[in-house]
């Protein structure tokens, strides 16, 4: 199970336009980001408060859903309702106008509109491993060429097309359309043998490679093998569907072999108002294989391969969905060496003496948010709610959530040893990884 496929699609009423971001004092602005599970997290200062936002080309407006014990003074607040991807329909929230957002040293919008989610159950931080306060979408991209370097973990915002024109000669240029304030591209989807041109959302907020909507594709047949899976969480609830692999994806002159594909069920998209002819999305497991330039003003996108390009599409074949559920103090026994001074015939001599002391360290704790039925973790006896004590005989507090998720994507036959705690009892479990959805050519 992929820990999270962050696809947030929103249906909003008609809102007033915003003045937009500007590059202050210079031709470009540079912003460093964190890359976790293919997703981009950037520092955003709102009215003087430092927060962390997911950068998501697949959303229209700026969304705030958690403050993590911080406070923000908002301007011009009114109540609203909106809907998004998930099983229920309406969410209550607030709309706040004329806020000041600053990203990096000199990328700033002094009249920014923010939508605040009032549902306390919405919090994606536990699935990411760091505090996440909200999502920033269209307004970040709309006025300037935006270069995303997934290797250097750096975003460069250029003042205008001239500031990046020379650099773009080394990139492949493809046209996009901007519909509903979101970028769409035509790519060829080859389920088995036939290439079908398909209109796909370019979605940096989706951690998967591809999403397809079966109900919107004529004569759609699921590739085998496939599995029923939890695909992620939207603002309206959990998203379920199937996962499998397709034969190929063609993006301009680039070809991707056997990419992982998620297909949400009809209930997860029933409340969405989708643009005409849309078939799905291209996610960040494709985008991270390039340096990408989004150029909304010119309605173009540019790609240049990076060192990730030829990496295989790896699946979390354990069946585990692991979440960060807090911090705890742990004591480490540390070996220390002291030196004892002695004087022998006016010569200072130091002899070593060994000692030990305890250091108390604050470390993350993790638990099982889900274990797919009949998967390797389920067969090994692990269940939802289990607290993880160690992995491969290493204290789980020494792992980041990203490192744990990387372990779960190892090759078939890899054995991971988990020690878990359930109702006060500690037990050991061996999970043997096996990909449940290898691509099988149908001749």
Q: Which CATH superfamily is domain 320-328+365-432 in?
A: PDZ domain (2.30.42.10)
Three-state secondary structure call for residue 225: coil
Distance (Å, rounded) from C-alpha 423 to C-alpha 409?
Answer: 28
What's the pLDDT score for residue 16? Answer: 43
Which residues lie below 8 Å from residue 325, measured CB to CB, with a gap of 6+? 126, 365, 366, 367
Percent of the chain at pLDDT exceeding 70: 81
pLDDT at 175 over 90: yes
Three-state secondary structure call for residue 285: helix
Contact at 8 Å (CB) between 225 and 439? Answer: no
Q: Where are the alpha helices (DSSP H) in 138-208?
A: 138-141
Number of other residues whose CB lies within 10 A of the CB of residue 299? 11
Q: What is the CATH number of domain 10-162?
A: 2.40.70.10
Q: Where does the pLDDT of residue 359 fall: very low under 50, low under 70, confident under 90, or very high at 90 and above?
A: low
Three-state secondary structure call for residue 214: helix
Which of 80-84, 250-254, 286-290, 370-374 bottoms out in mean pLDDT, i.e. has the lowest?
A: 80-84
Phi and psi at residue 170, to the nearest 5°:
-90, 0
- Residue-by-residue DSSP string for 237-276: EEEEEEEEE-SEEEETTEEEES-EEEEE-GGGSTT--PPT
What's the pLDDT score for residue 4? Answer: 38
Structure tokens at 229: 């899976």
Q: Residue 275, CB half-sphere, CA atoms under 13 Å: how many?
A: 20
Number of other residues whose CB lies within 10 A of the CB of residue 213? 20
Which residues lie below 8 Å from residue 236, measured CB to CB, with a gap of 6+? 83, 84, 85, 86, 87, 88, 89, 91, 271
Preceding omega of 225 cis (within 30 degrees of 0): yes
Which of 56-70, 81-95, 115-129, 359-373 bottoms out in mean pLDDT, i.e. has the lowest?
A: 81-95
Q: Where does the pLDDT of residue 284 fall: very low under 50, low under 70, confident under 90, or very high at 90 and above?
A: very high
pLDDT at 350 over 50: no
Q: Residue 424, CB half-sphere, CA atoms under 13 Å: how many?
A: 0
Report the pLDDT averaged over residues 244-261: 96
Domain 167-305 has CATH 2.40.70.10: yes
353 secondary structure, DSSP code: E
Q: Where does the pLDDT of residue 42 fall: very low under 50, low under 70, confident under 90, or very high at 90 and above?
A: very high
Report pLDDT digits (tens) over 212-227: 999 888 888 898 999 9
Residue with the two structure tokens 């979408």: 137
User: Would the CATH topology of 10-162 be identical to that of 167-305?
Assistant: yes
Q: Residue 270, CB half-sphere, CA atoms under 13 Å: how many?
A: 13
Going by DSSP bridges, is the β-strand pair 10-11/107-117 parallel, antiparallel, or unpaired?
A: unpaired
Report pLDDT digits (tens) over 302-338: 999 999 999 999 999 999 999 888 766 565 555 555 5
Going by DSSP bridges, is the β-strand pair 49-55/134-136 parallel, antiparallel, or unpaired?
A: parallel
Which burial class, exposed, middle or buried, applies to 243 when counting CB atoms under 10 A from its CB (0-12, 13-18, 19+)?
A: buried
Distance (Å, rounded) from C-alpha 418 to C-alpha 421?
Answer: 10
Among 180, 206, 202, CA closest to 293: 202
Contact at 8 Å (CB) between 120 and 257? Answer: no
Query: Would you kindly state where each structural domain of the chain is located, as residue ranges?
Result: 10-162, 167-305, 320-328+365-432
Among 72, 68, 66, CA closest to 93: 66
Task: Provide the mean pLDDT of the chain.
Answer: 85
Q: Residue 177, CB half-sphere, CA atoms under 13 Å: how many?
A: 13
Number of other residues whose CB lies within 10 A of the CB of residue 273? 10
What's the pLDDT score for residue 14? Answer: 38
Phi and psi at residue 266, to the nearest 5°:
-65, -25
User: How much is the pTM?
Assistant: 0.85
Distance (Å, rounded) from C-alpha 160 to C-alpha 29?
Answer: 11
Contact at 8 Å (CB) between 91 and 81? Answer: yes
What's the pLDDT score for residue 285? Answer: 97
Contact at 8 Å (CB) between 260 and 241? Answer: no
Element containing residue 63 per DSSP (H, E):
strand 62-64
């Amino acid at each position: 199970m992929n820990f999270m496929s962050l696809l947030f699609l929103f249906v909003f009423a008609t809102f007033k336009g915003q003045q937009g971001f500007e590059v202050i004092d210079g031709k470009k602005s540079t912003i460093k980001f964190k890359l976790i599970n293919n997703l981009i997290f950037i520092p955003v200062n709102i009215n003087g408060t430092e927060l962390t936002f997911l950068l998501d080309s697949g959303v229209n407006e700026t969304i705030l859903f958690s403050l993590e014990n911080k406070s923000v003074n908002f301007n011009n607040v009114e109540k609203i309702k909106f809907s998004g991807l998930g099983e229920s329909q309406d969410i209550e929230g607030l709309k706040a106008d004329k806020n000041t957002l600053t990203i990096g040293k000199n990328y700033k919008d002094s009249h920014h509109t923010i939508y605040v989610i009032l549902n306390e159950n919405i919090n994606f931080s536990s699935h990411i491993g760091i505090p996440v306060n909200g999502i920033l979408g269209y307004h970040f991209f709309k006025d300037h060429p935006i270069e995303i370097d997934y290797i250097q973990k750096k975003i460069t915002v250029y003042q205008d097309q001239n500031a990046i024109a020379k650099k773009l000669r080394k990139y492949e240029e493809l046209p996009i359309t901007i519909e509903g304030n979101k970028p769409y591209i035509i790519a060829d989807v080859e389920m088995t043998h036939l290439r079908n041109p398909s209109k796909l959302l370019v979605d940096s907020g989706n951690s998967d490679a591809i999403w397809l909507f079966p109900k919107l594709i004529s004569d759609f047949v699921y590739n085998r093998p496939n599995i029923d899976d939890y695909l992620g969480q939207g603002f309206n609830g959990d998203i379920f569907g199937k996962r499998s692999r397709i034969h190929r994806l063609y993006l301009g002159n680039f070809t991707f072999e056997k990419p992982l594909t998620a297909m949400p069920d009809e209930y997860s998209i029933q409340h969405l108002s989708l643009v005409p002819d849309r078939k799905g999305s291209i996610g960040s497991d494709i985008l991270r294989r390039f340096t990408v330039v989004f150029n909304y003003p010119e309605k173009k996108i540019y790609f240049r391969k990076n060192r990730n390009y030829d990496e295989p599409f790896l699946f979390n074949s354990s069946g585990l969905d692991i979440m960060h559920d807090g911090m705890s103090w742990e004591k480490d026994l540390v070996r220390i060496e002291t030196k004892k001074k002695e004087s022998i015939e006016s010569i200072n001599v130091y002899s070593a003496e060994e000692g030990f002391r305890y250091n108390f360290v604050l470390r993350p704790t993790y638990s099982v948010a889900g274990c797919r039925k009949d998967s390797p973790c389920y067969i090994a006896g692990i269940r939802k709610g289990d607290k993880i004590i160690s992995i491969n005989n290493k204290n789980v507090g020494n792992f980041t959530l990203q490192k744990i998720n990387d372990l779960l994507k190892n090759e078939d036959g890899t054995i991971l040893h988990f020690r878990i705690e359930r109702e006060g009892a500690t037990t050991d479990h061996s999970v043997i990884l096996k990909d449940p959805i290898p691509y099988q050519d149908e001749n």
